[in-house]
Chain A
Amino acid sequence: NAGVTQTPKFQVLKTGQSMTLQCAQDMNHEYMSWYRQDPGMGLRLIHYSVGAGITDQGEVPNGYNVSRSTTEDFPLRLLSAAPSQTSVYFCASSPMGGGTEAFFGQGTRLTVV
């Protein structure tokens, strides 16, 4: 009963490095999204996808790329890490439609030095 799985749980990057945060869900949910959580600011939407091959920007997309080649996977790429991207990242999935809550992964704590 995995739900939403994120890897890695922790990561330290140097400024300018790139990396991919992985997210996989086994619930056959159409909708997947990435959030970042910063102190005092709640969770802010980075990118989202309504199905394989379809992605769109959220509230804070700059510096991040996503792709959705399968229903299960929704990786988040940091192209050139900056200290401002130090945050906790959460991936979430939900079925499309009304009234359904999102299921979240355990998060990835990223530090950019």
Chain B
Amino acid sequence: DQQVKQNSPSLSVQEGRISILNCDYTNSMFDYFLWYKKYPAEGPTFLISISSIKDKNEDGRFTVFLNKSAKHLSLHIVPSQPGDSAVYFCAARKYGNKLVFGAGTILRVKS
């Protein structure tokens, strides 16, 4: 029962263009959503989050959009840079501090 789904295993974009990573969830009780970035042989690092009461949060080149009616969120990276190449995990918080993760999307930014 995958409560958080990232349906695109990989995404390739050209440097300078926009990267859009998508995430769908099934549990309407999630109250917080987070994106993590992971490089090979390292632990995930927090990127950006959004509360379920908001529909957008922006931090520099990164913007997360939340569509509660569609149970969908997306991460926009503008402009994309080669250093953004990594695995991106979408995560959702149900209660307390427990996080449910998606399977991840590999982003490759070509220079």
Q: Which residue of A lies closest to B102 (CB)?
A: A42
For chain B, give the interface size range.
20 to 34
Give the top 5 A-B pairs by smallest Cβ distance, nearest first.
A104-B43, A101-B46, A42-B101, A43-B101, A31-B97
- A6-28 to B contact mask, C-beta < 8 Å, 1/0: 00000000000000000000000
A37-52 contacts to B, CB under 8 A, are 40-45, 48, 50
| B101 close to A103 (CB less than 8 A) | no
B residues near A104, Cβ cutoff 8 Å: 36, 43-45
Residues of chain A within 8 A of B97, CB atoms compared: 31, 33, 48, 50, 94, 96, 100, 102
A44 and B97 CA atoms in complex are apart in Å by 14
Q: How far is the CA of A102 from the CA of B102 in the complex (A)?
A: 15
* B42→A102 contact, CB < 8 A: no
Question: In whole angstroms, what is the CA distance A45 to B36 when docked?
Answer: 15
Please indicate the chain B residues that have their CB under 8 angstroms from the CB of A96 in the complex. 96-97
Residues of chain B within 8 A of A100, CB atoms compared: 97
User: A90 on the interface (CB 8 Å rule)?
Assistant: yes
Known contacts A42-B104, A98-B32, A101-B34: does B99 contact A106 (CB below 8 Å)? no
Partner of A43, one of B31, B32, B44: B44
Of the candidates B41, B97, B101, the one having the most CB atoms from chain A within 10 angstroms of its own CB is B97
- List 9 A-B pairs, Cβ < 8 Å: A40-B9, A41-B103, A42-B103, A58-B98, A101-B49, A102-B46, A102-B97, A105-B43, A107-B43
A76 at the interface (CB under 8 A from B): no
- Whether A99 and B42, one on each chain, are in contact in the complex, defined by CB atoms closer than 8 angstroms, is no
* A43 in contact with B49 (CB, 8 Å): no
In contact, A42 and B89 (Cβ under 8 angstroms): yes
Whether A99 touches B51, Cβ cut-off 8 Å, given contacts A42-B101, A50-B96, is yes
Contact of A48 among B6, B98, B104 (CB under 8 A): B98
A81 at the interface (CB under 8 A from B): no
Q: Given A33-B99, A90-B44, output 17 extra A-B contacts at Cβ < 8 Å.
A: A31-B96, A31-B97, A40-B9, A42-B103, A43-B91, A43-B99, A43-B101, A44-B101, A96-B97, A99-B32, A99-B51, A101-B34, A101-B49, A104-B36, A106-B43, A107-B41, A107-B42
